[in-house]
Amino acid sequence: MEMDNLLASIDLGSNSFRLSVGRIVQHEGITQIYSIDRLKETVRLAAGLNEHNVLSEEAIQRAVNVLQRFGERIHDFPATRVRAVATNTFRVAKNIDELLPRAENALGFPIEVISGQEEARLVFSGVAHELPPSKEGRLVVDIGGGSTEFIIGKGLEPKLMQSLHMGCVSYTKAYFPSGKVTAQAFEKAELAASKELEVISKAYRKMGWEQAFGSSGTAKALVAVLQDSGFSDKGITLEGMLKLKKVLIQHGSANTPELRGLKVDRMEVLPAGLAIMLAIFRTLKIERMYQGEGALRVGVLYDMLGRHEASDKRDETVKLFIRRYHIDTKQAQRVKAFALGLFDSINANNKEDMRRVLGWAADLHEIGLSISQVSYHKHTAYVLENADMPGFSRDDQRRLATLALLHQGRLNKAQIQHLSMDKWQAILCLRLSVLFLRKRQPPKVELQLNTNRQQHISLKIDKRWLETHPLTRYSLDLESKEWESVGFEFSIEEF
């Protein structure tokens, strides 16, 4: 089997880690992904968070052990064919700087920590791709270990998305420690979930939907238990869940032969998942929920496929932001073309990933002008780091924000010194591009940029052109001094 036809996605959830290997199949102009291998391991990562959201060494080691096994399975995959995404526990862990490098080293591939909104988008994509096509509105609910995602969409397009801080592992820890069930615990857990749901209930009920699907391990477990135990004829219903709740309270846990279809690794977290689902059904007035396959891991596969087929969601997001912030598209294109030309001239080794980030940063570098001309680069950086940007991971957004923040003004030694060579080169190219395009017209100038030596920048430029452009000459001298202030050599040579 050709490796070029394979993709691998890794979903690092707060309860379970999942690896999915899919094969790309094209038939009559339609591209689909068929699963050929899956691995799933219960990690209970969220259970390792203390009251200060610091992840324990034991939990980190559990994650590392699983990722080493996943890493062996995909060891021979090209980096472009693998995407690993991490969700809520990675988002909230205060010691992420310790967790992430160890996790990436164990897996052998980079790990993207994605926002709750991005997780919701990918979950809906995964579920929608596994369902028959429909023009009806669909609600997808994904109860994870540390967060729950709610998405209403039509076809493959999400219309309303939200991620709430409640999950089966975090609620187990808070209300059902060790899986011990009481009526009082259920009351507290349902009340807590209902309060979380207050912020979204009105908007979701107003938009409405025709069918509801549960895409998580919690939903899958509830469907199995309710149907196999005879509490529900099909899917999840409020009546069936109330019967299940009664049995759990009677026995004090989910470990009872009365419950059929329940896997051992789900017993401890089932009560918490049930409490959350009960609150969801009551608050959103859901009558019946069906099981949705695919979820995040499949959504990641199709997102990767889109990137390979030139329909990258990130490109769509950039176009949306250009319209939303009324960016001067002609100037953005001029800056982009100039910056990428410089970047290509100094990169013998093709840094395609950083090149794309540089292109997006050039497209969006003037977002801040819609807020204020004063320190607009700071406004741009804030938006790029904190806005919901579908398709972009948190790391993607941080890189964009760094380029935006440093594309003009003072350079900070602490910020520059820790950057990789391709990243400071991208910053340099963007700064020079903005400098030369200050008049918002393409400059007719011959120049050569060289950065072959570490922390050495050489710019060769037409002497006669410089003589007729004193403002640019002055600005280049200031730029040279700015780079020298952070430890670089910057020489300007005329020819």
Q: Which two tokens mark 158?
A: 């999400």
Amino acid (1-letter code) at residue 345: S
In angstroms, rounded to a whole number, what is the distance separating the alpha carbons of residues 94 and 479? 37
In angstroms, rounded to a whole number, what is the distance separating the alpha carbons of residues 365 and 435? 13
139: closest CA among 338, 287, 324? 287
459: closest CA among 485, 422, 487, 425? 425
Low-confidence ranges of the chain (pLDDT < 70): 1-4, 27-30, 308-311, 348-350
Structure confidence at residue 391 (pLDDT): 78
267: closest CA among 275, 277, 259? 259
Structure confidence at residue 432 (pLDDT): 96
Instruction: Evaluate whether 425 touches 346 at the Cβ level (below 8 Å).
Output: yes
Structure confidence at residue 351 (pLDDT): 75
Question: Phi and psi at residue 455, in whole multiples of 5°?
Answer: 55, 35
CA dihedral 13, 16, 17, 22 (to 10 degrees): -100
Sign (positive or negative) of CA dihedral 394, 396, 398, 401: negative
Q: Which two tokens mark 239?
A: 């009546």
Structure confidence at residue 25 (pLDDT): 78
Fold type of domain 3-114+298-305: Nucleotidyltransferase; domain 5 (3.30.420)
In angstroms, rounded to a whole number, what is the distance separating the alpha carbons of residues 230 and 234? 10
Q: Where in the chain is the domain with CATH 1.10.3210.10?
A: 312-494
pLDDT in tens, 185-201: 999 999 999 999 999 99
Q: Where in the chain is the domain with CATH 3.30.420.150?
A: 132-292
For domain 312-494, the CATH class is mainly alpha
The DSSP code sequence of 356-381 is HHHHHHHHHTTGGGGT-STTHHHHHH
CA dihedral 388, 394, 400, 401 (to 10 degrees): 80
Structure confidence at residue 1 (pLDDT): 45
For domain 132-292, the CATH class is alpha beta
Non-local (6+) Cβ contacts of 322 within 8 A are 329, 332, 363, 364
Structure confidence at residue 388 (pLDDT): 80
Q: Do strands 111-113 and 82-86 pair parallel, antiparallel, or not at all (unpaired)?
A: parallel
Q: Tally DSSP H helices, then E strands, for the chain.
A: 19, 14
Q: Where in the chain is the domain with CATH 3.30.420.40?
A: 3-114+298-305
Structure confidence at residue 63 (pLDDT): 96
Non-local (6+) Cβ contacts of 144 within 8 A are 13, 14, 15, 87, 88, 167, 168, 216
In angstroms, rounded to a whole number, what is the distance separating the alpha carbons of residues 5 and 11? 20
